[in-house]
């Protein structure tokens, strides 16, 4: 079964104020879906960032490229548009963009 | 009558792919409202940018600060969170951010 990155989310409430991390190097806007679940639409500028998770997260790469190291794994894995990775809850991941802007959808599960 | 900047838009379709201008110095996500009208939720990093308009646009500043010069006016006007300006259709505006990140909602009328 092939995976396809989402193109749009219908019937959502979009918050006007962005979430701004690392002096604006990582930014996102929050969507609340009809079932109450949350997603963020985000952009990552070049740099290396560490994020802690509360709920488990699914990171889908919409455009650009990045690499990620999940929950303290030794290995970095590269991700490009149309790929995704899961992060366990109460854990963390590191994500690095070296060139351009990576775009993502983060889903909180 | 006092103006209040919008906090969220309900019942919209949010596009996952961002709009990226000026090498990522200006970015936004597009919302399509139930009536078919469009808004973008955006961020502007430091710099001076010129945008041409097709439809008339309303720019509401959600956070941060900027100054704008509309449709070739001589004077720059400063805008902070909770203020807004209109741009005529088939015209242009220049917008400058000197520090931090300015956040906006742009409505296409």
Q: pLDDT per residue over A52-108, tens digit each?
A: 999 999 999 999 999 999 998 999 999 999 999 999 999 999 999 999 999 999 999
pLDDT of the residue at B109: 86
* B45 and B26 Cβ atoms separated by less than 8 Å: yes
Contact (CB<8Å) B8/A16: yes
pLDDT of the residue at A54: 96
- Judging contacts by C-beta atoms under 8 Å, the chain B residues touching residue A24 are 43, 45, 100-101
B14 part of contact set with chain A, CB < 8 Å: yes
Domain span holding position A103: 13-108
Question: Is residue B5 included in any domain, yes or no?
Answer: no
Residue A1 has pLDDT above 90, yes or no: no
Residue B1 has pLDDT above 80, yes or no: no
Phi, psi at residue B22, to the nearest 5°?
Answer: 50, 50
What is the average pLDDT across B57-76?
A: 96
Residue A38 has pLDDT above 70, yes or no: yes
Question: Is residue A1 included in any domain, yes or no?
Answer: no
What is the average pLDDT across B25-49?
A: 98
Residues contacting residue A31 through CB under 8 Å, at least 6 positions apart: A9, A12, A13, A14, A15, A38, A39, A40, A41, B14
A27 part of contact set with chain B, CB < 8 Å: yes
Residue A26 has pLDDT above 80, yes or no: yes
Question: Is residue A23 included in any domain, yes or no?
Answer: yes
pLDDT of the residue at B12: 98
pLDDT of the residue at B76: 97
Question: Is residue A100 included in any domain, yes or no?
Answer: yes
- Judging contacts by C-beta atoms under 8 Å, the chain A residues touching residue B31 are 14
Question: Is residue B67 included in any domain, yes or no?
Answer: yes
Domain count, chain B: 1
pLDDT of the residue at B54: 96
Q: Which candidate, A8, A10, A36, A31, places its Cα nearest to that of A19?
A: A31
Question: Is residue A51 included in any domain, yes or no?
Answer: yes
Cα–Cα distance, B101 to B98 (Å, whole number): 9
ipTM over the 0.90 cut-off: yes
Residue A109 has pLDDT above 90, yes or no: no
Q: Which candidate, A99, A104, A18, places its Cα nearest to that of B17?
A: A104
Assign residue A99 the CATH number of its domain. 2.60.120.10
Question: Is residue A7 included in any domain, yes or no?
Answer: no
Question: Is residue A87 included in any domain, yes or no?
Answer: yes
């Amino acid at each position: 079964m092939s995976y396809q990155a989402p193109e749009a989310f219908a019937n959502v409430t979009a918050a006007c104020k962005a979430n701004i991390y690392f002096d604006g190097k990582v930014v996102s806007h929050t969507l609340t879906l009809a079932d109450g679940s949350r997603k963020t639409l985000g952009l990552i500028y070049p740099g290396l960032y560490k994020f802690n998770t509360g709920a488990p997260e699914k990171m889908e790469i919409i455009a650009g490229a990045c690499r990620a190291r999940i929950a303290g794994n030794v290995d970095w894995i590269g991700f490009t548009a149309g790929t995704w990775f899961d992060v366990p809850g109460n854990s963390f991941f590191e994500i690095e963009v070296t060139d351009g802007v990576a775009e993502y959808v983060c889903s909180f599960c």
